[in-house]
Chains A and B, each alone.
Chain A
């Protein structure tokens, strides 16, 4: 499923059309800026105070990336442990699921008490929100091995380590990457929840200020900045996937 020029064309046209309709509605019905700012007003806000937005974007980006990377590390580690040790699986898997069921927004105030109002609590929240799909997918990937391949490993006296490194781990990569895509978008949510609940930096913090001061265009710029950040991380995951799994394009071509 490739992306053609006409695909890009359609998407661009629809975005431009949406913005035009938005701008027209605001002007025709004279909607006040604090209820719904026009796209032009949002652009003006972004350009005139770009340093403010860059600074807070950087803070949020840092929190979500560190949280995401930690989530990937923790998630993969837990998955390996769960797959290889029955005892540990029975000990931690139910707890992980329970932790996942608790709404993370509800945990956020606690994390602030434990980890303070600084960056750490936001990183922890991003980690907490995004690691679960990584664990679940990675466990599936490590177990989704053809029976015959395991037979082959036994005939070749591979031992557990070689079986893990040469067969199970690469086999799990597609599962890992699909979970990383989900996690990359979740980590934005985690970081922002943290900033909402308490703190003095980041785009989430800006949105709170904008709301109390009814500076709606400021909210919108922060929102757009957030989606750009999420998109950047998501794009990076896709890029890494292409580089690390060059065989996948043939895989999908033949399927």
Chain B
């Protein structure tokens, strides 16, 4: 039933998560981080995961990227079982984690170097992406010379440079101030509009989750389970006025109720 999604019946399934569970064992005994999580994401779909901190959202994202092995269940990306880190993934973290000794351009080029992709093409793509992200004039600057929001935009460029089919973002704007955060939402949608990557973004801001997504996966805390998957029936492109749309407000309210109720 989770797969019915956004009404794109014909589109290919990009990510298929089946009965995923993750148990961490520590000195205090086992901790259940994820319990029986299932969902599917279609090609070029933008899905957000929202929930309280500690609901296993980041764990889920790292399992999808192949950085963690699940305790049970499976993740399939484009029909292939994920068993090792996927290079077909662009990953953005809460902190920009740029290499401070490289200029912005060289930072964006890192995946090209590491994956041994052709440099010339990579360089052109890097310039295109930096232009798209409004960073072209800062390409020879060091990260420390840029604001947090600009650094995070550079990190998004780095995630997209090797043209991955999936974009995974782990609370990418969580460390930014509110105004920059709103700005970054528009920036991200603009970039996404141009590049149409299948995107999975984790956030704990309900309004951000609704504003960005085609569908919102609502998770319960400890252990993380899928409480509901909500279709966002808002037109694209999303504009500032979208947040005044009754459907936006209704979705936010509904998710809030779900998380609130489950939390009590």
Contact = CB atoms under 8 A, between A and B. Distances in A.
A255 B144 CA distance: 9
B60 interface: no
B238 interface: no
Interface in A64-123: none
A158 B111 CA distance: 9
A167 interface: yes
Of A146, A250, A255, most B-chain CB atoms within 10 Å: A250
A149 B100 CA distance: 12
A251 interface: yes
Interface residues of A, number: 25
Interface secondary structure of A, over-half rule = helix
Of B67, B114, B145, most A-chain CB atoms within 10 Å: B114
B151 to A, nearest CB: 10
Given A151-B67, A154-B67, A157-B85, A170 B145 contact: no
A20 to B, nearest CB: 45
A157 B115 contact: yes
A156 B90 CA distance: 9
B62 interface: yes
Interface in B21-73: 62, 65-67
Nearest to A170: B101
A149 B144 contact: no
B61 to A, nearest CB: 10
Interface secondary structure of B, over-half rule = loop
A223 to B, nearest CB: 39
A162 B87 CA distance: 15
Contacts of A251: 100, 142, 144
Interface stretch (B91-99, B183-191, B203-211, B245-253): B91-99
A253 B144 CA distance: 8
A246 B106 CA distance: 15
Contacts of B136: none
Interface of A: 146, 148-149, 151-158, 162, 166-167, 170-171, 173, 245-247, 250-251, 253-255
Given A154-B67, A155-B86, A158-B114, 7 more contacts: A149-B97, A155-B87, A157-B115, A246-B142, A250-B144, A251-B142, A255-B144
27 contacts: A146-B95, A148-B93, A148-B95, A151-B65, A152-B91, A152-B97, A154-B85, A155-B85, A155-B87, A155-B91, A156-B111, A156-B114, A157-B87, A157-B114, A158-B114, A162-B114, A166-B113, A167-B99, A170-B99, A171-B99, A247-B100, A250-B142, A250-B145, A251-B142, A251-B144, A254-B144, A254-B145
